[in-house]
Structure 1
Amino acid sequence: MGTLFYGGAAEPVHIEDRLLAHLKVVISTKLRRNECFTLSWVHQEGDTPGRSTLWMHPAIPLRFVFDARESAELRSDWIVALANSASSSGGISLLPELMSPPSE
């Protein structure tokens, strides 16, 4: 389980390593372009019920921490789906991995 630390938030966001690796690509690309957007998720089982949204802005400190030592193999189709989500009015929603075979 990876961790996303954002700004001075009291609680980090815990996200599975593989999803976090894909999010890192999309978030880094958008912030490098000075694009702001939202990131939303449903709280995990065991957390307070509900959902949360972060306003992602290039001026707010951000850190990705992964449990795995090795980088996950990235899937371009999943990155595209997340990037399309980020460009929508609803912002990035944590999408499950697509079930098609990994792209080369």
Structure 2
Amino acid sequence: MGRLYYGSSTEPIEMPDRLMAHLKLVASSKLRRSESFTLTCKDSTIPGAGRETIWVHCSIPLRFVFDSAENVNLDRAYLEELARAATSTVGIVIDMADWIEARPEPVLVRAA
């Protein structure tokens, strides 16, 4: 599991490296153009866990820490889906229960 650090928080958002690699590319593209978006993460496998939403903005530090030193194969269709979601009013919504590290293909974003 990789870790996403946002702002001054020392508490990371944990997610599979494969998912984080896709998010990193979309976030980098959006932030390079000074475009903000929301990212919501929830884990429906943990009863009562709820969800966490962050407002991703170019003025707030963002750090991606991958467990693996190896690059992952990126799925173009999933990148396009994430990019579309990032421009929507809902933003990117990820349910961690949909992501299992061994899963060969990413699960597409669903609206909350």
Is 1:43 paired with 2:40? Answer: no
TM normalised by structure 1 equals: 0.86
**Match of residue 8 from structure 2:** 8
Contact 1:43–1:52 at 8 Å: present in 2 too?
no
Alpha-carbon distance between aligned partners in 2 of 1:40 and 1:59, rounded to the nearest angstrom? 19
Q: Would the alpha carbon gap of residues 79 and 6 (structure 1) be closer, same or farther in structure 2, given more than 3 Å must change?
A: same
Equivalent residue number for residue 61 of structure 1: 61
Instruction: Work out whether residues 42 and 52 of structure 1, in 8 Å CA contact, stay in contact via their aligned partners in 2.
Output: yes
**Aligned position for 1:79:** 79
CA contact (8 A) 1:86 1:93 kept: no
Residue of structure 2 equivalent to 1:28: 28
Partners of 1:47 and 1:69 lie apart in 2 by 33
Q: Tell me how far apart the structure 1 counterparts of residues 36 and 47 of structure 2 sit (CA, whole Å).
A: 27
Q: Secondary structure at the match of 1:9?
A: coil
Query: Any runs of at least 4 consecutive aligned residues in structure 1 with deviations exceeding 3 A, and if so which?
Result: 43-48
CA contact (8 A) 1:5 1:64 kept: yes
- Relative to the length of structure 2, the TM-score reads 0.80
> Per-residue deviation at 1:11?
1.3
Match of 1:102 in 2: none
- Secondary structure (helix, strand or coil) at the match of 1:14 reads strand
Kindly indicate whether the alpha-carbon contact (under 8 Å) linking 1:2 and 1:14 is maintained by their aligned counterparts in 2. yes
Report the AA paired with residue 52 of structure 1.
E
Alpha-carbon distance in structure 2 between the residues aligned to 1:64 and 1:10: 13
User: Any unmatched runs of 5+ in structure 2?
Assistant: 99-105
